[in-house]
Structures are given as structure tokens and as C-alpha cells.
Structure 1
């Protein structure tokens, strides 16, 4: 189960990047991403039923980590598509009101599930077996969460997790829209003065970001991490998926991490002398 799921996740990231890099309108891009997520989620569902997730840990990993990446991407793009469709064409004031209404809706959902959101943000795991194993939805235990639309392919809580991940991303999207409305000539996602210069290779940066994600040290969407890091470090990585594929084929795929470890230990050793 592990390899097919990760291959499918890599395909999702790669094809999302391709869509982002084309010259279509935001609405067209959202539509393409929605279709992609629907298709790949169907494939993920087939893989799930073909595999045998016999242990509790396997089920938890699937419903807490794997499936929400696909479903949250779908929910996020549905919300963004609706935003563009419903956005008024009038004055800045009307557009600002529309943004505020959307933000209030997203915020209300996050407040409704604030306790579970805190559970996830604190990386808690003591309730994982109750939340992320394939068991019947029990109103007494799970009544505060979203009811699974596909119970055979859900844990009681993974639908809520996917919606929360999407809501967090959507809220940031709305903040960027609000910033752009007030400052049309400025980049909403980063202040151009708050950058550093990256002196490593693009492959080094890809290795670092993937390693941080793999270790759970960077939360959220991989694509968003690259966008932020590119702006922060003043570098254009390009097709990070292709570079990651090259890294996997290297004899030593973690060469940068080895250098970082050695350099830090040498520095500590020198300063302690």
C-alpha cells in the first residue's frame, strides 16, 4: 500500500505544479485541479480497497496523513473557484465586503472545530485510534465532526481534517486577496525586503525542503512551502518534482544533510575547545 500511495501523491504534486505553471486563468486552473483531485482520489480509493491495512498504525497513517492531502486539495480549490465565481465586479468596497464574508465563513468553521484543530496543531496522537481508524461513525463519540460522505472509505474524523486543512489554506488565500486589493502593485505573500540569498544549488534546497516535510518539521502544503522558501531565499527552484526525482536516483540522496550535520558538529567542536 505504501509505494502506490506515495507514487500517487507524487503524481498529484507534479500535475498540480504543471497546472500552476500554465497560462490559464485562475478559474480554469481551479477547474483543472478539481478534476485532477477527483480522479486521483478515485484511484486512491481503489488502492485502499486493494490493500490490507491490517494494523492500527497503518490505518492511522493513511487517514491522518495520506488521504487528507488529496481531499483537502479538492476542498480548497472548490472554495477558491466559488470565490472567483461570486466575486463582485464593482468597487473595491464591494470586493472587500465579499472577501470579509468569505473570511467569516472560513473562520466560523475553524472556530467550530477549534478543539480538534488544536489537537492537530499540537501534533497530539493519544486519540488517533478513535479518530483515524476505519470504524463506524458514532454520534456520541464523533458527533462534533463532519459526517463521512463515504463511510467505507473514511475514518470518523478524516473528512473534518481535510476540511480544516483546506480552510487554513483558504483563509491565507483570502488574506492575500485582501492585501492585493489594497496594494495592487505589491506581492501579497512576501515583503520583498525580507529575503535572504541562497548560496546552495537548487537540488540542495529541494533536498532540504523535502527532508523537513518528511520529518514533519514543516506543516501544510509542499507547494506552498516551496513558494515561501523561494521568496524568502531569493531563488527560483523551477520544477522541484523533477529535481526530487533526480535526488531519489542518486547514490547518496541526502548529501546536503550530511554536509549540514558535519558542518554543525565541526562548529560546535571548535567553539567548545
Structure 2
């Protein structure tokens, strides 16, 4: 059977988008995504065991790209669920300090267990010369001095290194999540190539107006061909305008309960543009 990373990514993102609209809190969304991804991982395991692969290239693609994406997302949502269940009350110094600590822990884990490894450099550089060693089942080289959990892996559905790739995926997702929880004033400027050039740009309308705009752009799929999630788009706007939007899903649900026009800001943009065009500017 031929597996497609694009199909898997699209399927997961559709589920994320659906849940982001249906659930009011990230905690509930994370829980439901955990259940969904567990089932998806299990169904893929059944397919791999029962149908196998047409050739080694398909096997490499699955264990280098597809399984790490699913497992990485599962690790990410499980961590988010754990964090959200213990985080302090919204906002305030305690809240801020908590997420700074979580971010510091993530950076330390990355430094100790990921970035210094040969595999990380191999994987991130896009090399493929050792793919048959890393992403074909049954080719584990114990002379490399592997971690002890290698003896616990499912050799029918693991290559040892696919789990390492999943950790890289999860780490990057968690970094984005934690940064979005911290005040934009403390967001690393490195997320923009030239932070000084945007320091005089700020949002002057209400936060709800910006959230309305973000959801409209996401729904229209006009940013990165619709291939990135609502949280990443939100993070970019928070950094660009140095504004903390808080729980955007809850705000969006409140918008849906508005009486009268539910897209008041977008309606005002349309009116403003029409007026601008009539002036012939």
C-alpha cells in the first residue's frame, strides 16, 4: 500500500480545524486530538503489519515522514494537555512565570537530548544517504550506543529513529505553543529577521477585531495555501503587533453568539475600502 504524507497532514489538519471551532478550550481540544491520533497511529500500524510496503522507498517514506508526524503530534498534544491541566490562573505573574519555566525546560531538553546528536544534524539537513539504516525496520545498529528503550520498541512498527524524528516534530510544535503563551514583549525577536523594522507597528483596534480578521484569513486559506493552523497564524499576528490575544477560541465562540452582524469588523473593512475606492485615491 502506498502511504501519502500529504494525505495524513491534510487529514490531521482538518480534524484540528474542526475541533478548534467546536471546542471552547485548548484543554478539551488537546484531549480529543490525543484520542484521534492514538486511533490514527493504531490504524496505520494495522495497515503496515497486514499490507506492508511495495518497496523500500515506501517504507523509508513512512518511517521518516508519516509516522513521525503522527507520533510527533501525539506527543505534542499529550504535553499540551498535561501543561494545561496544571497551569495557574489565567494571566498574572504566576501564569507568566509558569510558562517561562516550561519554555526553559523545553530548551534544556532540546539541548541535552536533541540538538547535539548526529541524527538531529542528519535529519534537519535533509540528507538521505543513511535512510536505509535509519528508516528500514530491523536494521538497528547496536554498536552506536543506543538508548535502552530500543529494547522496548515494537520492531514491526518502529525503526528506533522514527521516534527520534517524532521528538523533533513535537519539540518544534511545543516551542511555538509555549511562545504564544508568553507576553509578546518577551517573544524572541529571532522569530522575525528584522525586529527593529517592525517595532513601530502595532494594532489599534480591539482584540476581537484582530481575532475576527485572523479567523477570516484562516478560513479563506490565503496564508501558506491554508496549510498552517490557526495558532501559528495567531502567533505571527501577536508578535507582529505585540498584542496578547489570550484564548482566541473562546473569543471566537462569543462572536458566533452575537446578535445582528457576526462579522462587524470585516463588514467595516469592506465599507472602508468602498469609500476609499470612491475617493479615487
Q: What TM-score, normalized by structure 1, do the two folds share?
A: 0.64
Go from structure 1 to structure 2 and tell me whether the alpha carbon gap of 1:54 and 1:90 turns closer, same or farther (over 3 Å shift): closer
Point out which structure has higher relative CO (alpha carbons under 8 A, 6+ apart): 2
Go from structure 1 to structure 2 and tell me whether the alpha carbon gap of 1:2 and 1:163 turns closer, same or farther (over 3 Å shift): same
Matched, 1:127 2:127: no
Q: What displacement does 1:107 show?
A: 1.6
Q: What displacement does 1:72 show?
A: 0.9
- Mark the runs of 5 or more structure 2 residues left unpaired by the alignment: 204-218, 240-281
Q: Which residue of 2 aligns with 1:106?
A: 106
The alignment covers a number of residue pairs equal to 211
Q: What TM-score, normalized by structure 2, do the two folds share?
A: 0.62
Give per-residue Cα distances to partners, 1:139-188, cap 9 Å, x unaligned. Answer: 322615963633321112011111111111101211111126979xxxx9
CA contact (8 A) 1:136 1:156 kept: no
**How far, CA to CA, are the matches of 2:139 and 2:54 in structure 1?**
17
- Mark the runs of 5 or more structure 1 residues left unpaired by the alignment: 196-201, 211-220, 233-273
CA contact (8 A) 1:134 1:155 kept: yes
Q: Which residue of 2 aligns with 1:167?
A: 171
Q: Which residue of 1 aligns with 2:44?
A: 44
Following superposition of structure 1 onto structure 2, how do residues 76-155 of structure 1 map, counting pairs within 5 Å? 76-89=76-89, 92-111=92-111, 112-114=113-115, 115=117, 116-135=119-138, 137-141=140-144, 143=146, 147=150, 149-155=153-159
Q: What displacement does 1:4 show?
A: 7.4
**How far, CA to CA, are the matches of 2:85 and 2:231 in structure 1?**
27
